[in-house]
Chain A
Amino acid sequence: MIGQVLGHYRIDAKIGEGGMGVVYRARDEFLHRDVALKVLSKGTVPSDSTREYLLHEARSSSALSHPNICTIHEVGELNSELYIVMELVEGKPLSTLLAGEGLPVESVLRYGVQIASALSHSHGRSIIHRDLKSSNIMITSEGLVKVLDFGLAKRSEKDLLEGATQTIGPLDTAQGLTGTLQYMAPEILRGLETDHRIDIWALSVVLYEAACGQLPFKGRTAFEISSSILHDLPPQLPSRVPTGLWAIIQRCLAKEPAHRYQQAGEVQAALETVQSASKASPPASPADLRGPLTTVLRGMRHLTVKNGDVLLLVGTTKGAFLLRSKTSRSSWDVAGPYFHGNAIYALNYDNRQGRHRLWASTHTFWGTFLRSSDDFGKTWTNPQEANVKFPPDCGAALANIWQVSLGREDEPHTLYCGVEPAALFSSPDDGETWSLVRGLFDHPHRPRWLPGNGGLCLHTILLDPIDPKRMYVAISSAGVYRSDDAGQTWQARNSGIRVVHMPEKYPEFGQCVHKIVMHPSKPERLFLQNHWGLYRSDDAAANWQDIANGVPSDFGFTMVMHPHDPDTVFIVPIESDQFRCTPEGRLRVYRTRNAGRSWEPLTRGLPQKGAYETILRDAMTADSLDPAGIYFGTRNGELYGSIDDGKNWKKLLGGLPSIVCVKAVIVGEPHAAAKPRATAGAAAAAHRPKRSTANAKRRPAKRR
């Protein structure tokens, strides 16, 4: 096979062989990447139905996208040979690391958490591994777990019990006993119905094996092993293994599936608890009492980030997730959830003056706090005092922080945040101190502003890149306000925007504006998604024109500006305020490329049936690469992305809590919104990432 070409894969070297077939390192000649290519031996796939089943399983497994699962790129059949193309994982199987007494407890926990996380992800998508064992868990040199062969080992239990066919190796060969039988749950051996809990059993066998180097159930023959699995309790682990870990293993090895942890996520959480207990932080010294605490997040795999990488900051109602990709944006590492259980309504990345600071607004019933991280999430500040709060004379109390925005490039220490109840705060000193912008808070309109469904919130802040004194805010439900004197005074700018919830249809203020966007090369022009209505203004928000031309609904929440083209805007129409879902169950992004004269649906790769999704106002974003990456998250916790200006879409991640905000940033790149403009063309070019040897492969940016 070496040197041969299978499809568009050139086979370079053999890297392994198992019962299922031979694994080669191969070169994908189309995408110019190295992959692992598994060619299934004919003997393992005896019948057409098994073959179809295997193809089906492999295809569904290819939908799995998780940092701890070896990604399946393609499944195919060529010259009657089945092959599977997958991510090339450079590492060692866990089984080869277990010689002697097993691994240090810390490693067992670290790997266990990642394996459980992989299982939790796949079980959430109804994919059962069915052949989890230490030899198909790879450990990379960075300590990252990659679980191989998801869903590939399904076979009928009847076949197995009769010893007729097994994907890994026949039971009755001499060395066959080292196969998978040792990892099989009792219900398989009994010929009973099985479900995802067989993976929880197998995970525990792996944990046991990792902890002491021995399998929990042994025997000289298949009969003895089966008998031990069915009847014996696992032998006590050595005393160096914490009782917490031993308890988890025992519970997963309950003979009755109903007595085990029922979900892999529960095993993961239990392992994490043992992990944090074994590394509890020492009590704070009295000197630490008043300064902000630093929360060190242990037991979580964090991102390794390089300059030029694309980061997606994803805020959900139950925590934040960070995704990282190279500029190719072909695969994403995922870390999180950060701020377990907190609602994260705003995230941002401050890279002015060489900083790498993430900001997060975190909200629980214990209050709302702005927290920052200078190491991409490994540690976060945890302020003693709420950093954003209303002055005592206001009679107002902070309910949430909806937006964190950066000041202009020439004010590198300035930050803004928009909050609920509607108000603007600014910080002159990198978020050390915050003060209420009184000009807006004391506006005579404010007592007559009305809260919308999301409360009365100031959710959008736009700085004019040319006029340093001009800025805009958008408030639900009050409308757009503009200041031309750096926030001292504010004027309502809603002329032409219709309201449906008041008797007067075109009031001066009171509009429920959901989002406004502006391109830095054309700051006098703004686009607006209203509670009902799509609008454009060509005169700095003085007047607005309806641009809902050819959209299935002009109701919606989110709106995103194209990073390079001031005529291109993306929205996701929602059926109505009564039924806040995508119309007809079809998930369609709409794009205008002529500043709203017409809109076209973008659907390729997005579900067009039964997709009742809601995309909230800050849940769509664009990166600044060319072609642009557009990303959005849904209230159902699905995250989609396109890397070609919206033409083709792919689900990047699913099963998250409700997604509230998504923000794409390029690591190390000057922040787009903060850059002053020299000329229109130069400004657009300046927002593209710097060319460097690291990303020289990307095609040159076009001038528009």
Chain B
Amino acid sequence: MSVTIHIPGPLRDFSQQRGEVQLPGSPATLLEALQLLFAAHPGLRDRILNEDGQLRQHINIFVGNESIRYTGGLATHLPATATISIIPAISGGQ
């Protein structure tokens, strides 16, 4: 029973250089998981979500191998054991 979040390289300045953060407790949704992540690493919040609470445009989050854009967004339900990946979209560079 554990939820792990993979942190991409550019954000590791804000996760104490960790590439992987194991969350305490058992979050039921992705949003709950992110809130646990942000409580431990507050610098990540504004880099992943905008001030309107939306996922930033060029960032994708996957639960397992599924993009959350197709599974309910931030409300995506998490299984008891889950691996969450935060990955910049290929459309991000200009």
A residues with a Cβ closer than 8 A to B are 280-281, 283-284, 289-290, 293, 295, 317, 341, 343, 364-367, 382-386, 389-390, 392, 395-398
Top 10 closest pairs, chain A to chain B, by CB: A365-B58, A384-B43, A397-B50, A386-B46, A389-B51, A365-B92, A366-B47, A397-B52, A283-B16, A283-B17
Is B21 interfacial (CB-CB < 8 Å)?
no
Q: A389-B51, A398-B50 are in contact. List 14 more A-B contacts (CB 8 A).
A: A284-B16, A293-B14, A365-B92, A366-B10, A366-B11, A366-B56, A367-B46, A383-B43, A385-B42, A385-B45, A389-B46, A390-B51, A392-B52, A397-B52
Closest CB in chain A relative to B15 CB, distance in Å: 9
**A367 and B50 contact, CB distance less than 8 A:** yes
Closest CB in chain A relative to B34 CB, distance in Å: 15
Is B13 interfacial (CB-CB < 8 Å)?
yes
Number of interface residues of B (CB under 8 A): 26
Known: A293-B13, A396-B52. A385 touches B58 (CB 8 A): no
Chain A residues in 8 Å Cβ range of B13:
293, 295, 382
Docked Cα-Cα span, A290 to B41, in Å, equals 8
Closest CB in chain B relative to A687 CB, distance in Å: 37
Partner of B57, one of A280, A365, A382, A396: A365
Known: A365-B88, A366-B10. A385 touches B43 (CB 8 A): yes
* Cβ-closest chain B residue relative to A284: B16
Docked Cα-Cα span, A127 to B92, in Å, equals 34
* Cβ-closest chain A residue relative to B94: A317
Closest CB in chain B relative to A362 CB, distance in Å: 12
Docked Cα-Cα span, A389 to B51, in Å, equals 6
Closest CB in chain B relative to A273 CB, distance in Å: 12
Docked Cα-Cα span, A384 to B56, in Å, equals 16
Interchain residue pairs with CB less than 8 A apart (16): A283-B17, A289-B43, A293-B14, A364-B10, A365-B56, A365-B57, A365-B92, A366-B10, A367-B46, A367-B50, A384-B43, A385-B45, A386-B46, A390-B51, A390-B52, A397-B50
Main secondary structure, interface of A, reads loop
Docked Cα-Cα span, A385 to B88, in Å, equals 19
Known: A283-B16, A317-B94. A385 touches B52 (CB 8 A): no
Is B65 interfacial (CB-CB < 8 Å)?
no
**B51 and A392 contact, CB distance less than 8 A:** yes
**A384 and B16 contact, CB distance less than 8 A:** no
**A289 and B41 contact, CB distance less than 8 A:** yes
**A367 and B16 contact, CB distance less than 8 A:** no
Known: A289-B42, A293-B43, A365-B56. A398 touches B51 (CB 8 A): yes
Q: Mark B56-94, 1 if CB is under 8 A from A, else 0.
A: 111100000000000000000000000000001100111
Docked Cα-Cα span, A295 to B50, in Å, equals 22
Chain A residues in 8 Å Cβ range of B47:
366-367
Known: A283-B17, A384-B42. A397 touches B54 (CB 8 A): yes
**A397 and B51 contact, CB distance less than 8 A:** yes
**B46 and A385 contact, CB distance less than 8 A:** yes
Chain A residues in 8 Å Cβ range of B56:
365-367
**B14 and A386 contact, CB distance less than 8 A:** no
Closest CB in chain A relative to B83 CB, distance in Å: 21
* Cβ-closest chain B residue relative to A295: B13
Known: A365-B58, A366-B56, A366-B59. A384 touches B94 (CB 8 A): no
B12-47 with Cβ < 8 A to chain A: 13-14, 16-17, 41-43, 45-47
Closest CB in chain B relative to A263 CB, distance in Å: 18
Closest CB in chain A relative to B69 CB, distance in Å: 15
Known: A283-B17, A395-B52, A397-B54. A365 touches B43 (CB 8 A): no
* Cβ-closest chain A residue relative to B12: A283
* Cβ-closest chain A residue relative to B11: A366
Chain B residues in 8 Å Cβ range of A397:
50-52, 54
Closest CB in chain A relative to B19 CB, distance in Å: 12
Docked Cα-Cα span, A559 to B57, in Å, equals 33
Chain B residues in 8 Å Cβ range of A382:
13
Chain A residues in 8 Å Cβ range of B11:
366
* Cβ-closest chain B residue relative to A341: B93
Closest CB in chain B relative to A369 CB, distance in Å: 8
Name the residue in B17, B43, B45 with the highest tally of chain A Cβ atoms < 10 Å from its Cβ: B43
Name the residue in A317, A343, A384, A398 with the highest tally of chain B Cβ atoms < 10 Å from its Cβ: A384
